[in-house]
Amino acid sequence: MPVQIIMTEGLASKVEAQKAHAEISQVFLDLHQISNNSFMLPNIIGEVVFVEEGLTFSGKAVNSIAIVELRVPSFTFGTQQQKDEFVQKATDIILRATSGKLSKEHVWVNAVYAVDGLWGIAGKAYSNEELGQAIQTAAN
């Protein structure tokens, strides 16, 4: 499940950004109780993208920002409580990583849901049902 962090250059060091990515990935795994799942663990992937200062915007003006975006199957985050907790924890992680250089109002967190049957891993297109089965099988 790709985890992407996009932020204005200069908000966090490379090390802090790496740490934030790992922590956000762990929050995702923990919320779904799959932290040690042998199928999921190698499929938590992603990147941190630093955007040149002056090229990030909020309110139609140049502003420093951070965006946390996940690309996940449509069955992910099955409850509002999971969504609320993920957004709150991911925001807190970004705020720590940026050491006070960014306000909470300039952190956005969202998820993009993949089309059922088009979740490709290692050359195989998984349906939601197949993906769920692979995760459950690896948990046993």
Q: Which of 116, 115, 88, 91 is nearest to 103 (CA)?
A: 91
Listed residue (77, 90, 124, 97) closest to 10, CA to CA: 97
Task: Kindly report the pTM of this predicted structure.
Answer: 0.92
pLDDT tens, 36-95? 989 999 999 999 999 999 999 999 999 999 999 999 988 899 899 999 999 999 999 999
If you average pLDDT over residues 105-129, what whole number do you get? 93
Angle value at C-alpha 72, between 68 and 73, nearest 5 degrees: 160
Q: Considering Cα of 44, then 114, then 84, then 47, what sign does the dihedral take?
A: positive
- Sorting pLDDT into bands at 50, 70 and 90, what band is 140? low
